[in-house]
Structure 1
């Protein structure tokens, strides 16, 4: 019996990092299993502790030409001084999983024709095994081309900072022009990992993965030419850069979890068209208690309808990823009497809501978002303009791109935050009214609809993303018969 042609994938630990891998695999298999070579995808999942119920639900719903294996769990309490920040922590989990990953790949090669290993950016250490097995090394870069451009440039920018005596990255007073990017950035808007001391574990971990990125065979990019064509083109012209394959947008087509879905959809059905502001900070983003209060008061004062996905506050903005948080009722952190006063105005749901269905609903008029790339792609493809309130990682870069270049988002104006970086209730009201009521908001909505149309064209037959995916499949087909 002829062996299946297999693609192995290694996401990062964490529910939010798994979704782009599953959605990419579904798109790839649907698109490419009718050309004489039948691909199969196996997802090899590094773990720390027991997988979450949402992770298990996603994996149990995979189609028949996909399967998964949980790699043996890495127990952090057995290690001396395990990292607390999610980035070095995820990187360490993957490194410690390499022996079990090697065994899994050996098993796959005995049963299939293994042609490629696709890793997450922060699982890039797994690609050390790609050369050992003589297969393509690929990174599924779940952010955009602008962020990729910075990641590829970062090792050189780090070298330029070697003369800094204060252990800081670059001159904080000057804008940074990243080679290949169509927009300049303030240092404060670059990925927050660079703001750690250069001697820190976090900074070194990010620098390590950026150095490794230039050595991979293919970077699979969740973007498309009409969104970031100039930046994609500039990367592709670089002789030292990996082959870049823009196949986006990759988004979920429906929310898998049924919790709160019926309640949210029923509530939206009773609201006027384009009248609801949706608020969510991704699968792991959190805000401080003070910022939560300011948003709550701002929503109430704005008078606009809202649907808010609320999780318990934290001073660590990425606390939903890998860090165990208290099982508190998030509603207890709202200002006293808020739910009663806004009963006819808004709906607050704890922890999770069906984001795809909410963004696709005709009553949703705007999205107050942390500007995580996956959420932004979902908002753009559904034609929903964004209020940008970035929290961590590359989200400030994304916010700059969306507001300054692509014009699909509004952001609280400079000086809108207080001395502690909190966006105040008055400024929350102001930006809500700008996007929901003003001519400026209408222009942002129009531009978002234009990019939504362009996104659908990109993934249709013979669209730019369709053709990029075909090119990738051809590389993997030729490997299977080599």
Structure 2
């Protein structure tokens, strides 16, 4: 069988739209810059595609294709198994399918690299056995990658729970972080999720390179440390900010934004996987109402057990609006828009009417905010989001962070105060100014001579030269 002449890469993401988005942008840029085509091998744990995933797949351009791998069975996992464990098992149980597809691609394409997501490092063995260069794509921040590479050493020096440490944790290249803001798997070293996290991290050094979705002007300390040469550490390529791009949407919420004054709307969203308790939804609603600010709120049905219930299952058929306080919609109809389940976030944050973002601090959302210069209210829910919130607040100083009450809720008065502070207050103006500076830096990075295209160009040339 004849092998096509153009270079090709295989990309193995982990489940979840938040990881698919930057990987697609990465693939699109390689296709545009170097005519390197790509095939996504998408693990499947048996759930139907979400609205966000369907939208993502429809946006794939010619030259990039995807294969949905056969679903795996996770019924043997205990109830309450953490998300990192579920993702890792999904990938591990998909390895025979990954091998079959990669071997097939390798027989028909000039396969120059296998790119795996941060919880998909088990596929490295397949690439190494087939003599295909393997790369890690790290969707979160450079600070998170710095922590990951430091964790095996940190684990040796802290014999007890990290949350019991007397001092803040010093991550190389970052300001010391509060123990409570470390990523979720680090909060319980006895849970299987921590074991999986450590398993993958120890395999990062098997890669030929580490691709991180960030840029030096955003995280100078962390990236400087990451790019220092060290025996056994792969080169680190800061290729961000990679954020969702595409044609302009005609979604009704954008038409509503067109009717609002410039810089007047607070966008509220907890991402594609985030969920809140019924009591917390009530407090947010009443806090927004009390603030008297315009808002666009993407709302999901509540979950009183876990904060990431929608990550694997967003198919709750209930109406999210039914969980709002009585007559809330009627009372706020002249200044608020409620959108069930999903909205075109990238276009919303780029809209002139939007002047603030109450966010769960997923890294995609952070980068989209930075590129558009939108200041933040940081409300983390799970994974590494608390760590992102900490650095956005304490290091970058582009976010306000509401305080939780003794009852475990962020209460309506606190929400009102923080929202008004961001949208009207002096501190909000300082944050807006600082975010404007980062927006300018991001524009330069994404420009024709910026580091994003330069590093991707260097990487593309390397892959093409490796196979000549």
Q: 1:234 aligns with which of 225, 242, 246?
A: 225
How does 1:41-440 map onto structure 2 within 5 Å? 41-54=38-51, 55-77=53-75, 79=76, 81=78, 84-162=81-159, 164=160, 168-169=161-162, 171-181=164-174, 183-196=175-188, 198-239=189-230, 240-254=232-246, 262-314=251-303, 315-323=305-313, 326-412=316-402, 416-440=403-427
Shift of the alpha carbon at 1:211?
1.3
Identify the range of structure 1 (422-431 vs 51-60) with the bigger mean alpha-carbon deviation: 51-60
Q: Residue 254 of structure 1 contacts residue 356 of structure 1 at CA under 8 Å; is this kept in 2?
A: no
Q: 1:26 aligns with which of 7, 25, 28?
A: 28
Give the Cα–Cα distance (whole angstroms) in 2 for the partners of residues 447 and 81 of structure 1: 45
Structure 2: where are the runs of 5+ without partners?
none
Give the Cα–Cα distance (whole angstroms) in 2 for the partners of residues 82 and 63 of structure 1: 39
Q: Residue 15 of structure 1 contacts residue 52 of structure 1 at CA under 8 Å; is this kept in 2?
A: no
Shift of the alpha carbon at 1:80?
6.3
| Greater than 4 Å deviation, 4+ residue runs | 80-83
Task: Report Cα offsets for 1:19-69 as digits up to 9, x if no partner.
Answer: 121111112211223xxxxx2101111111154153244224322211111
Q: Residue 277 of structure 1 contacts residue 306 of structure 1 at CA under 8 Å; is this kept in 2?
A: yes
TM-score normalised according to structure 1 size: 0.92
Which residue does the alignment assign to 2:457?
A: 470
Give the Cα–Cα distance (whole angstroms) in 2 for the partners of residues 223 and 186 of structure 1: 22
Task: Report Cα offsets for 1:89-110 as digits up to 9, x if no partner.
Answer: 1111111111111110111111
Change (3 A) 1:170 1:111: same
Instruction: State yes or no: 1:453 paired with 2:440.
Output: yes
Change (3 A) 1:470 1:453: same
Give the Cα–Cα distance (whole angstroms) in 1 for the partners of residues 224 and 55 of structure 2: 38
Shift of the alpha carbon at 1:324?
6.2
DSSP 3-state at the match of 1:245: strand
DSSP 3-state at the match of 2:136: strand
Give the Cα–Cα distance (whole angstroms) in 2 for the partners of residues 61 and 407 of structure 1: 34
DSSP 3-state at the match of 1:271: coil
DSSP 3-state at the match of 1:214: helix
Cα RMSD of the aligned pairs, angstroms, is 1.8
Give the Cα–Cα distance (whole angstroms) in 2 for the partners of residues 10 and 80 of structure 1: 23
Change (3 A) 1:282 1:32: same
Give the Cα–Cα distance (whole angstroms) in 2 for the partners of residues 255 and 379 of structure 1: 18
Change (3 A) 1:453 1:53: same
Shift of the alpha carbon at 1:10?
0.3
